[in-house]
Structure 1
């Protein structure tokens, strides 16, 4: 099995996973993963993530080249994915979706804390907002490019979320952690239950010394 074949199968699995766990709906959302060098595989325009056929995944490169598309077009959101891969060479997968609670937070001015529990401390360590631009535009791609190095979670205002990480599996876990945290945030506010945060110095100590995951490097 080639690297491209393996990536295709893992993306198909990820699409089903996202639908199964309420992380995607209808034909909203698009996902991608690096294959080799400057190439990545992305879902075709208008596909249903829960039923991705082999030809629903198209290989592209960072220069805009498209390979083996068989008459289909890469997702119109390709500029966002390309902006991440171009600016973060360690990133192996990008997931764009509109999960209910995460999108609700993205459509609001609510701040999403990271210091609640182990997974939020790691996966939500850096969350940035991207102002609204029309989906699929180069302007949105440039908005993502501006924030790509500052976080691994981007809230796309009045649109959805963009999550990216070193592997497809890590990106999946980050997306699910994001949705869980946003659900906790929304429901705690609605119920009047306050969430007790972990002290920031304790959070820093965890990230620097717990060995839960390799420490991320962020620009100052």
Structure 2
């Protein structure tokens, strides 16, 4: 597991990346990464992801304690992040954002196709929805906890998305893949372009046998 300073730099880079590629906007969104088995860094409340200073990243533990010498408060969305880390010990990064197309889908009843391209088959293999709860509430944290073991991507209805993975880099790629798939979905429907997905057996064969990436272990 990377040390605290390495994790801090990874999160600073990721925040800038998310703003540059329109995966976040304004002061929306919060990101975190595990530093120890029971500790993680998370963005402070009200931060701008594109310009994260060291003081903008607060160290917390799974017991709910914070270790912030600057007196800053951790993001109010901490219950969501903590729920993922507690439920999934192999997860080391959690990204919460409201990208345009992904949030549009999260506020609709549309299903995200997983069989359109290689990355969608891998990163979007399992996507779940979490009903709307007020941001930052314990109820939202429990809603995420209920679905955390079923997928690595959660659509937070009328709110945004939560993406988590084994590393900051993997979570970042999953978030961008999600936004690309949602954009393709909306554009294809708007332009009345019929999409041809791969058959289920081909998708299953890719996930189980392709050397693209090792298959995810969903046996928790």
The alignment's TM-score, normalised by the length of structure 2, stands at: 0.98
How do residues 123-134 of structure 1 correspond to structure 2 at under 5 angstroms? 123-134=123-134
Structure 1 residue 168: Cα displacement: 0.1
SS at match of 1:40: strand
Counterpart for residue 87 of structure 2: 87
Structure 1 residue 214: Cα displacement: 1.4
- After superposition, give the CA deviation of every residue in 1:151-197 in whole Å (9 maximum; x if it has no partner): 00000000000000000000000000000000000000000001100
State how far apart, in whole Å, the 2-side matches of 1:89 and 1:37 are: 8
Conserved? CA contact 1:59–1:69, under 8 Å: no
Q: Which runs of 4+ in 1 moved over 6 A?
A: none
Structure 1 residue 139: Cα displacement: 0.1
- After superposition, give the CA deviation of every residue in 1:103-126 in whole Å (9 maximum; x if it has no partner): 000000001110111000000000
How do residues 109-148 of structure 1 correspond to structure 2 at under 5 angstroms? 109-148=109-148
How do residues 66-215 of structure 1 correspond to structure 2 at under 5 angstroms? 66-215=66-215
State how far apart, in whole Å, the 2-side matches of 1:152 and 1:199 are: 23
State how far apart, in whole Å, the 2-side matches of 1:21 and 1:120 are: 18
State how far apart, in whole Å, the 1-side matches of 2:53 and 2:69 are: 12
Report the aligned-residue RMSD: 1.0
- After superposition, give the CA deviation of every residue in 1:96-145 in whole Å (9 maximum; x if it has no partner): 00000000000000011101110000000000000000000000000000
The alignment's TM-score, normalised by the length of structure 1, stands at: 0.98
Q: Which shows bigger deviation, 112-121 or 67-76?
A: 67-76
List runs of 5+ in structure 2 lacking aligned partners: none
Q: Which shows bigger deviation, 4-13 or 208-217?
A: 208-217
Structure 1 residue 68: Cα displacement: 2.6
List runs of 5+ in structure 1 lacking aligned partners: none
SS at match of 1:84: helix
Conserved? CA contact 1:130–1:156, under 8 Å: yes
State how far apart, in whole Å, the 1-side matches of 2:44 and 2:134 are: 19
